[in-house]
């Protein structure tokens, strides 16, 4: 089989793909029904909401060509950040790709337990594996749009629940069966080594695994230990310096007044310094970059995502990293060669 990258509009030769944002959520740029988890009433409202999602994404992608970025990977799990519970909203990604001219690769995964659709709780690990395999080989939901990668498969903050372990094992087994790459979600960089342990038990190809959100993990030695297992890691929340973490979805009728959440800060300067340190230690081929930008968090970061949108990584962060010592010759590897190899299926 000739090598290809599976996009939402069909397969492409890897040579047709340039620089890549490897972890984004194109359907979650506005706080509409797919982001909030609700649903509008009536067909007209549904059509309007879908058009709003499409137009906002097309506009947001418009700046990327100037930085040589022509491909975006949408790693939205079932039921959150732009993907509905059935997966059928992946059709919006096709229209976004057509209008923007940007190649889009869709992932397939299940998010944290409190946010997982009920049907994912009801499936056995074998049944969920079959679902993931079908998403890759036949199409997501009823769309016929094939996933080109598995992810972002999630585990919690300082824990992996039984449900999350089941889903991670299913994703690993689907990776073994299909050969596609697998990207995980760590919550604030925790449980990375535990994820690797589970993936090893399932005989996953660790060279085609990326452990996500490790730029939030401040300890460089921890990053090195994870990389030494053979997996890649992602610096994929670049620009998200401030963020809120709500432990589980709010009830439909929350109580009046204050509710608990956690607020975090992680500077891009610290991210840049860790990125430089890892490249200097020889890990450049295992690193992946993106922004994980969503409309719900742009307001918390007015000087990064709020001002620059998707262009922030290339326009601001990479020059910062170069100022901190990043070899400019590595930019094409970090944004091009690394994620391109991850997305490539088949053989040359």
> Which tens digit of pLDDT belongs to each residue from 155-210?
999 999 999 999 999 999 999 999 999 999 999 999 999 999 999 999 999 999 99
How does DSSP assign 289-311, residue by residue? E-----HHHHTT-TTTHHHHGGG
Structural domains of the chain in order of their starting residue, each with its CATH number: 4-245+260-345 (3.20.20.140)
User: 9: exposed, middle or buried (C-beta count within 10 Å: 0-12, 13-18, 19+)?
Assistant: middle
Radius of gyration of the chain (CA): 19
pLDDT band at residue 36 using 50, 70 and 90 as cut-offs? very low
Sequence-distant (6+) residues with CB within 8 A of 56 are: 29, 30, 295
**Per-residue model confidence (pLDDT) at position 39:** 53
Q: Which residues contact 75 (CB under 8 A, 6 or more apart)?
A: 23, 24, 25, 107, 109, 149, 151, 152, 183
Given pLDDT bands bounded at 50, 70 and 90, which one contains residue 49?
Answer: confident
Contact 324, 262 (CB under 8 A): no
Token look-up 């939402």 returns 8
Burial class of 237 by CB neighbour count within 10 A (0 to 12, 13 to 18, 19+): buried
- Give the 3-state secondary structure of residue 90: helix
Instruction: Tell me which of 34-38, 161-165, 241-245, 299-303 is least confident.
Output: 34-38
């Amino acid at each position: 089989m000739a090598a290809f990258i599976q996009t939402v509009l069909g397969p492409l030769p890897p040579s047709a793909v340039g620089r890549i944002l490897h972890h984004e959520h194109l359907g979650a740029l506005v706080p509409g029904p797919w982001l909030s988890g609700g649903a509008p009433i009536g067909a007209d409202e549904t059509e309007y909401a879908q058009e709003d999602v499409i137009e906002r994404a097309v506009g947001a992608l418009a700046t990327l060509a100037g930085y040589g970025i022509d491909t975006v990977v949408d790693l939205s799990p079932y039921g959150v950040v732009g993907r509905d519970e059935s997966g059928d909203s992946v059709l919006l990604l096709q229209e976004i790709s057509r209008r923007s001219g940007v190649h889009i690769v869709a992932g397939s995964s299940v998010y944290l337990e409190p946010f997982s659709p009920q049907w994912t709780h009801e499936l056995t690990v074998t049944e969920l594996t079959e679902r993931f395999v079908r998403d890759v080989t036949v199409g997501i939901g009823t769309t016929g749009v094939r996933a080109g990668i598995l992810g972002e498969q999630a585990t919690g903050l300082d824990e992996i629940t039984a449900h999350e372990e089941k889903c991670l094992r299913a994703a690993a087994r689907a990776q073994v069966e299909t050969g596609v790459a697998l990207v995980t979600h760590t919550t604030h960089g925790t449980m990375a080594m535990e994820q690797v342990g589970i993936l090893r038990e399932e005989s996953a190809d660790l060279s085609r695994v990326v452990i996500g959100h490790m730029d939030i993990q401040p300890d460089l030695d921890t990053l090195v230990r994870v990389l030494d297992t053979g997996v890649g890691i992602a610096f994929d929340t670049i620009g998200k310096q401030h963020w809120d973490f709500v432990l589980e979805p709010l009830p439909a009728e929350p109580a009046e007044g204050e509710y608990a959440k956690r607020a975090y800060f992680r500077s891009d300067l610290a991210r840049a310094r860790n990125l430089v340190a890892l490249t200097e230690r020889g890990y450049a081929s295992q690193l992946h970059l993106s922004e994980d930008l969503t409309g719900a968090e742009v307001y918390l970061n007015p000087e990064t995502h709020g001002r620059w949108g998707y262009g922030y990584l290339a326009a601001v962060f990479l020059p910062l990293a170069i100022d901190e010592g990043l070899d400019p010759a590595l930019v094409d590897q970090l944004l091009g060669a690394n994620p391109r190899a991850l997305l490539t299926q088949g053989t040359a």
